Structure 1
């Protein structure tokens, strides 16, 4: 995210101007998100940027190069149910169940 913001700053400002991105970056340092929320930057208006806390909840789909890459579900910030990962042609590459992943986690038995 930092590299992305830095490139926006370089591309969007002329000398002496303060951009929305610079202000948002400064304000973002003051924002602390409670678990399981995550800090999120979003486009706002025609050239603005908003900063806030977000909790993933509901269906999740990631798309890359016009193809679904990941499909799953969040509930209050936690992965739940079946998560499917697809290859670049859209074929199922991997399937995991969040409950199975928790059960199969290595546990120290010292």
Structure 2
């Protein structure tokens, strides 16, 4: 039973107008407005929507991985010890539908194309 982590995008600009009860039906979920962080499998992970924020988070070297969105383009690079990852988008907007799978035990990251 894992958790669901939700980060808002530019389309959700008026975050304050989304009723809190909208997320009550999602068991074990946590919602962040600008960026979120979690420790999973001993890894420090951050996530956000915008690449500029993601790059700053990665440059801080506080995280093992930083995930971001916005561009819809699957991407992976390393900044110091931090892996900066855009899993793309599952809807197939602008690029083919993609997602990422990360294994905290093996440190293996796969960008999957549908």
TM score, norm. by length of structure 2: 0.27
Name the one with the larger helix percent: 1
Structure having the higher Rg = 1
TM score, norm. by length of structure 1: 0.27
Larger relative contact order (C-alpha < 8 A, sep ≥ 6)?
2
